[in-house]
């Protein structure tokens, strides 16, 4: 919208064509199909939820059910990852997407800029990940989806943040309805408004006005319901250059303020877990930057599911039991103790420590540090650039994707670099190094056949073995993958491959 139209309050062309999930949820009684689990919040005289004492915030967040810090107190900071889809969703997606297309470069630039704007004044932080890894939020273009009722056109939609929904937080722009400004959003034009508006939904905000049958209260008074105050309004008084003051206030209520500041820096909890146990808001009454969670000694085997926040979790001392700890999001530190444990780092740059017995560690999506410690452990770095330390015992280690550094430490370890350009260190013991085509360019630092080290390589995949000018053996595979055995002549390596 041009500056000379700022004084006139006009309806956005997107007002009657928005088919976002927020618009439709009230029309299907909060859609149990999508996993809505209503919040126990006060109701006003109009039957609308009253989450806070501030009617402006209530008009944007409703019941507060839709937020990324699931099962944590409102106000807890959280990191949200995002990606730009390069293909249509898989068969487990919550609905069928029609006519998928990749977002334009201009749209991707605008998304990054808008997310930075949202993060600058709230407790939200955003981190871009690859399309292959997939983010919490994923962006793409479509012509619609099967679940949108026929006859309802839409310029775009965002799926609200709903736990355990495949598609939660995704933003879709309808390329069949888009104009030049939608394909090339820039601050002040309609494309920028559309993206900022839909991203607001993906973060947990709703419409502020009763624009259609699909909208649910509470609403802003008419004199406040305009885009100078919030991008969730359809009454445009100014061109949208980013989130407006009411948007920041509402998101600060949900996620805290900029820099992750919240009620306290840390909050400590002690749990005696049941067979299956997860953190809930009822058990965690305080919003914090980091939660210190200690599982008290227990004779029971159990599964513990944490949250999307930053957590430091100490497992229970249970030498005869089984323990599974799932961290979800955030940058977590998890300490296993006694007993057989399975630890999932999932999203975030995590540090996982296996403890005393035979443990299984999964790093997850990001650059993690994994320590097997005692016992014969199984360790998966998974995605990104991980640092893996086997510790004591005969460990089985898989680097996964990314350029990993793997150190077997003590014991007779089996080390698989997998994909990416990895650094492999066996250290003490008779270690086995596994290399296959498709593995990238790996460097084996301390191979010593005299100490019992071995290579597990399929000879038919190898095209050449030679000593390079630096005195290292290069084992070259048919697809271009290379294993570099540092400081060892090829005459010592060739007989070991077969």
**How much is the average pLDDT of 238-256?**
93
**What pLDDT shows up at residue 212?**
79
Domains of the chain from N-terminus onward: 3-257 (3.40.390.10), 263-429 (no CATH)
Q: Where are the beta strands (DSSP E) in 134-184?
A: 137-142, 144-145, 156-158, 171-174
144, two tokens: 């619609």
Give the confidence band of 374 by pLDDT, cuts at 50, 70, 90: confident
CA distance 412 to 427: 9
**How much is the average pLDDT of 181-190?**
97
**What pLDDT shows up at residue 6?**
28
Give the confidence band of 271 by pLDDT, cuts at 50, 70, 90: low
**What pLDDT shows up at residue 3?**
31
213 vs 353, higher pLDDT: 353
Q: Rounded to 5 degrees, what are φ and ψ at 186?
A: -150, 155
**How much is the average pLDDT of 257-271?**
64
- Most confidently modeled of 63-72, 257-266, 414-423? 414-423
Give the confidence band of 99 by pLDDT, cuts at 50, 70, 90: very high
Q: How many CA atoms lie within 13 A of 165 on its CB side?
A: 25
Give the confidence band of 200 by pLDDT, cuts at 50, 70, 90: very high
**How much is the average pLDDT of 206-220?**
89
106, two tokens: 């201009």
17, two tokens: 């064509």
**How much is the average pLDDT of 332-358?**
86
Which residues, other chains included, contact 160 with Cβ-Cβ below 8 Å and sequence gap of 6+? 21, 22, 25, 66, 168, 169, 201, 202, 204
**What pLDDT shows up at residue 96?**
95
**What pLDDT shows up at residue 151?**
62
The structure's pTM equals 0.69
Q: How many residues does the chain have?
A: 498
Residue 226 has pLDDT above 90, yes or no: yes
For 454, the 3-state DSSP assignment is strand
Residue 11 has pLDDT above 50, yes or no: no
**What pLDDT shows up at residue 408?**
93
Give the confidence band of 28 by pLDDT, cuts at 50, 70, 90: very low
17 vs 498, higher pLDDT: 498
Residue 12 has pLDDT above 50, yes or no: no
**What pLDDT shows up at residue 25?**
42
* Peptide linkage before 218 cis (omega within 30 of 0): yes
**What pLDDT shows up at residue 61?**
95
**How much is the average pLDDT of 227-245?**
94
What's the mean pLDDT when you consider all of the chain? 85
163, two tokens: 């736990």
CA distance 249 to 184: 28
**What pLDDT shows up at residue 288?**
72
Percent of the residues in the chain that have a pLDDT greater than 90, as a whole number: 58
**How much is the average pLDDT of 403-417?**
94
What is the side-by-side order of every strand in the sheet holding 276-278?
A: 276-278, 302-305, 322-326, 340-344, 360-362, 378-380, 396-398, 414-416, 432-435, 454-457
Residue 321 has pLDDT above 70, yes or no: no
Residue 346 has pLDDT above 80, yes or no: yes
Residue 155 has pLDDT above 80, yes or no: yes
**What pLDDT shows up at residue 76?**
87
List the one residue out of 99, 106, 86, 91 whose CA is nearest residue 174: 99
**What pLDDT shows up at residue 265?**
66
**How much is the average pLDDT of 58-80?**
90
**What pLDDT shows up at residue 15?**
36
Point out the least confidently predicted range of 42-56, 79-93, 404-418.
42-56
Which parts of 212-263 fold into alpha helices (H)? 245-255
């Amino acid at each position: 919208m041009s500056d000379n139209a700022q004084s006139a309050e006009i309806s956005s062309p997107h007002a009657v064509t928005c088919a976002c999930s927020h618009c439709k949820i009230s029309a299907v009684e909060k859609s149990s199909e999508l996993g809505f689990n209503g919040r126990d919040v006060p109701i006003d005289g109009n039957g609308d939820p009253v989450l806070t004492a501030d009617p402006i915030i209530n008009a944007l967040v409703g019941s507060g059910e839709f937020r990324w810090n699931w099962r944590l107190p409102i106000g807890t900071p959280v990191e949200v990852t995002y990606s730009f889809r390069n293909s249509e969703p898989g068969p487990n997606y919550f609905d069928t997407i029609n006519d998928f297309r990749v977002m334009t470069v201009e749209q991707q630039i605008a998304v990054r800029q808008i997310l930075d704007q949202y993060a600058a004044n709230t407790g939200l932080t955003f981190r871009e990940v690859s399309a292959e890894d997939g983010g919490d939020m994923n962006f793409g273009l479509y012509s619609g989806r099967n679940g949108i009722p026929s006859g309802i056109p839409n310029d775009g939609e965002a799926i609200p943040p709903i736990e355990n929904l495949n598609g939660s937080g995704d933003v879709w722009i309808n390329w069949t309805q888009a104009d030049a400004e939608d394909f090339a959003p820039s601050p002040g034009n309609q494309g920028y408004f559309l993206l900022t508006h839909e991203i607001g939904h993906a973060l947990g905000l709703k419409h502020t006005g009763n624009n259609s049958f699909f909208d649910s209260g509470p609403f802003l008074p008419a004199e406040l319901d305009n885009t100078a105050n919030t991008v969730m309004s359809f009454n445009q008084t100014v061109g949208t250059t980013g989130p407006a003051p009411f948007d920041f206030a509402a998101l600060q209520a949900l996620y805290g303020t900029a820099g992750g500041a919240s009620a306290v820096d840390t909050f400590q909890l002690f749990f005696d877990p049941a067979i299956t146990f997860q953190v809930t808001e009822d058990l965690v009454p305080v919003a914090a930057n980091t939660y210190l969670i200690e599982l008290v000694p227990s004779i029971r085997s159990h599964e513990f599911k944490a949250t999307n926040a930053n957590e430091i979790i100490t497992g229970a001392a249970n030498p005869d039991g089984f323990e599974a700890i799932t961290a979800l999001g955030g940058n977590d530190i998890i300490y296993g103790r006694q007993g057989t444990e399975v630890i999932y780092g999932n999203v975030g740059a995590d540090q996982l420590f296996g403890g005393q017995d035979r443990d299984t560690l999964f790093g997850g999506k990001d650059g993690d540090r994994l320590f097997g410690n005692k016992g014969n452990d199984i360790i998966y770095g998974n995605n990104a650039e991980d640092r893996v330390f086997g510790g004591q015992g005969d460990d089985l280690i898989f680097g996964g994707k990314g350029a990993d550094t793997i150190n077997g430490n003590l014991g007779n370890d089996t080390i698989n670099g997998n994909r990416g350009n990895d650094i492999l260190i066996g250290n003490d013991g008779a270690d086995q190094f596994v290399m296959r085509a498709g593995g990238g360019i790996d460097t084996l630092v301390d191979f010593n056949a005299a100490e019992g080290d071995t290579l597990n390589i399929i000879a038919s995949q190898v095209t050449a073995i030679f000593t390079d000018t630096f005195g290292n053996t290069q084992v070259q595979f048919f697809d271009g993958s290379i294993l570099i055995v540092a400081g060892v002549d090829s005459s010592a390596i060739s007989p070991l491959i077969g």
